[in-house]
Structure 1
Amino acid sequence: MPEGHTIHRLADDHAERFAGRTVELSSPQGRFADGAKLLDGEVMVGAEAHGKHLFLEFPGERWIHVHLGLAGIFRFGAFADGVDEPGPIEGVVRLRMVGDRVWSDLRGPNQCRIVTRTEKDAVHARLGPDPLRADADPAEAWARITKSTKPIAELLMDQKVLAGVGNVYRAEALFRAGLDPHQPGRTVTRATWDDIWDDLVELMAEGVRVNRIDTVRPEHTPEAMGREPRKDDHGGEVYVYRRTGMPCLICDTEVRIEELAGRNLFWCPTCQPKTAA
């Protein structure tokens, strides 16, 4: 499932291409036909993201609310020179948006629906603060973390606690903080939480900028260490994510993996030592 930086990047991409312009909407698949018909020919006002939720705004306080889920994907394109129509439909397209010689296709989302202000507000209300939003308050996440006995690694993946953080940012932020992922939330200090939050703000903003997740510090890049670049469909340079059995880039201890709350957890037992009870 895409992490929050991807959704914010999609919001920026849609705003750049369509905001302030009249758009044509259709649903080649048919599952969003009524919604597309309702907003077809309207001006797209803007786009925003909260965690893994994307909102495309239209007049009259109406939004297309998209959650990509595990299989959802957007594809963008532009009209070819001398051609007055968008590219061909590829695959099962839930929503096609056509603007001024540009278009986007949405395939396979978990959710694509029109919502009102009240419905949109309800989505925001059930989500924790998003490190990429200017209105985010890290104290809201801290209030939930400090009351919980759940492992901090589980809490960071709970979208009610913190919105937008997925498995990669979870593993990498905890490694960079030197924090045992199994440590109960209520035993994490406020100073440590503030450091994790600030780190996520910086890392995820960089993720939006370069459109991938890179978490290693300058001294641990392939160029600095004289090592081969990471080869993985994730694409970025990381410390522990999907590096099971490989030596830690800092201490050479084998990176470990276990299942926690249904997701794979990666960590280094040396760089992230257990805390005394």
Structure 2
Amino acid sequence: MPEGHTLHRLAAEHQRVFGGRPVGAGSPQGRFAAGAAEIDGRVLVAADAHGKHLLLEFDDDRVLHVHLGIYGTWRFGEPPVPEPQGAVRLRLTGAGGYADLRGPNACELLEPGGVKLLRDRLGPDPLRADADPDRAWARISRSRTSIAALLMDQSVIAGPGNIYRAEVLFRQGIDPMLPGRALSRERWSAVWADLVVLMAEGVRSGRIDTVRPEHTPEAMGRPPRVDDHGGEVYVYRRAGSPCLVCGTAVAAAELAARNLFWCPGCQPPAG
């Protein structure tokens, strides 16, 4: 599933291609035909993202809400617009090009009240200027749940996924099994600040890079990472490999139906 930086990049691309202009909309697949007809010809006022949710606001105050889930994708192209290929749930067209949506978990039109309900159930997004990290801290500081699980709960903090979760905990030297209520406010502030920087870099580059300059392939004389997610990381998908910092074998376990990665040497249990 795409992590939050990808959705912010998608919002920026929609704004670039369609923003401020009437947008054609259709559903070649037919599953969103009624919704597409309602926004066909409307002006895209703003493209925004909150966590893993894309929000496209049109000039009738309605918002197209898209959650890609595991299989959803957007594909952009330039004119001329080709015939749709495969199961295209939604096609947006404009003078600047087109965008095809396939396989989303959610594709729906929301009234302003529905948008508020969606935002209210999401935690703060480190990539949003209006994010309030104290909202997340209020939940974390009372919880017996592990910090690793809390960072994957989109109602606690919106946007980070499995990669950012594993990497920020490594970078801050935090045992992933530490209960939220055992995390100090100072360490939470460091986690939040690190996520803001790492995810903003993800928006800029389009990939997740989390290693510090002294641990890059060039600095260490090691081969670059080869992985379909791209980017240089410390622990994600590196189970059994030596930690880039201390040499301890990276550990892995399943937590809440997702694979968790950490370094027992750099992230020892508290106490």
TM-score interval, smaller chain: over 0.9
Equivalent position of 2:6 in the other structure:
6
What residue in structure 1 maps to residue 102 of structure 2?
Answer: 107
Q: Which runs of 5+ in 2 are unaligned?
A: none
Q: What is the rounded CA distance, in whole Å, between the counterparts of 2:76 and 2:89 in structure 1? A: 14
1:242 aligns with 2:237: yes
Aligned identity (percent) is: 62
Distance in structure 2 (CA, Å) of the matches to 1:201 and 1:253: 28
Task: State whether residues 245 and 255 of structure 1, in contact with CA within 8 Å, keep that contact through their aligned partners in structure 2.
Answer: yes
Partner of 2:51: 51
| Cα distance in 2 for residues equivalent to 1:151 and 1:57 | 36
Amino acid at match of 2:7: I
Distance 1:90 1:44 in 2: 25
- Equivalent residue number for residue 268 of structure 2: 273
Residue 88 of structure 1 deviates from its aligned partner by 2.8
Q: For residue 97 of structure 1, what is the aligned residue in structure 2?
A: 92
* Distance across 2 between alignment mates of 1:29 and 1:44: 22
> Which aligned pairs between 1:74-223 and structure 2 lie closer than 5 A?
74-79=74-79, 85-223=80-218
Q: How does 1:247-258 map onto structure 2 within 5 Å?
A: 247-258=242-253
- Is 1:227 equivalent to 2:219 in the alignment? no
Distance 1:249 1:91 in 2: 43
Q: Which range moves more in the overlay, 85-94 or 211-220?
A: 85-94
Alignment check: 8 A CA contact 2:123 2:156 kept? yes
Measured after TM superposition, the shift of residue 157 of structure 1 is 0.4
Q: How far 1:253 moved relative to its partner?
A: 0.5
Distance, in Å, in 2 between the alignment partners of 1:74 and 1:91 is: 13
Residue matched to 1:68: 68
Alignment correspondent of 2:41:
41
Secondary structure of the corresponding residue to residue 271 of structure 1: coil
CA RMSD of aligned residues (A): 0.6
Return the alpha-carbon distance in structure 1 between the equivalents of residues 28 and 60 of structure 2: 25
Partners of 2:42 and 2:181 lie apart in 1 by 49
Distance 2:112 2:6 in 1: 24
Residues 147-205 of structure 1: CA distance to partner in whole angstroms, max 9, x if unpaired? 00010000000001000110000000000000000000001000000000000000000
Structure 1 residue 46, shift from structure 2 partner: 1.1
The match for 1:262 is: 257
- Report deviation, 1:90: 2.1
Mapped to 1, the partners of 2:3 and 2:223 lie a distance apart of: 26
CA drift at 1:59:
1.2
Q: Is the 8 A contact 1:86 1:101 kept in 2?
A: no
Name 2:27's counterpart in structure 1.
27
Q: Name the amino acid aligned to 2:231.
A: G
Quote how far apart the aligned CAs of 1:89 are: 1.3
Partner-residue secondary structure (3-state), 1:94:
strand
Which whole-Å deviations, capped at 9, do the CAs of 1:12-33 have from their partners, x for residues lacking one?
A: 0100110101111000000110
Residue deviations 1:29-82 (CA, integer Å, cap 9, x gap): 001100111110111111000000000110121010000000000000001xxx
TM-score, normalised by the number of residues in structure 2: 0.99
**Alpha-carbon distance between aligned partners in 2 of 1:37 and 1:154, rounded to the nearest angstrom:** 40
Cα shift at 1:87: 2.2
Corresponding residue for residue 82 of structure 1: none
Question: Partner letter of residue 32 of structure 2?
Answer: F
Instruction: Provide the secondary structure at the position in 2 that maps to 1:128.
Output: coil
What secondary structure is seen at the aligned counterpart in 2 of 1:45?
strand
Matched residue count:
271
CA contact (8 A) 1:171 1:241 kept: yes
**Residue type of the alignment partner of 1:244:** A
CA contact (8 A) 1:78 1:87 kept: no
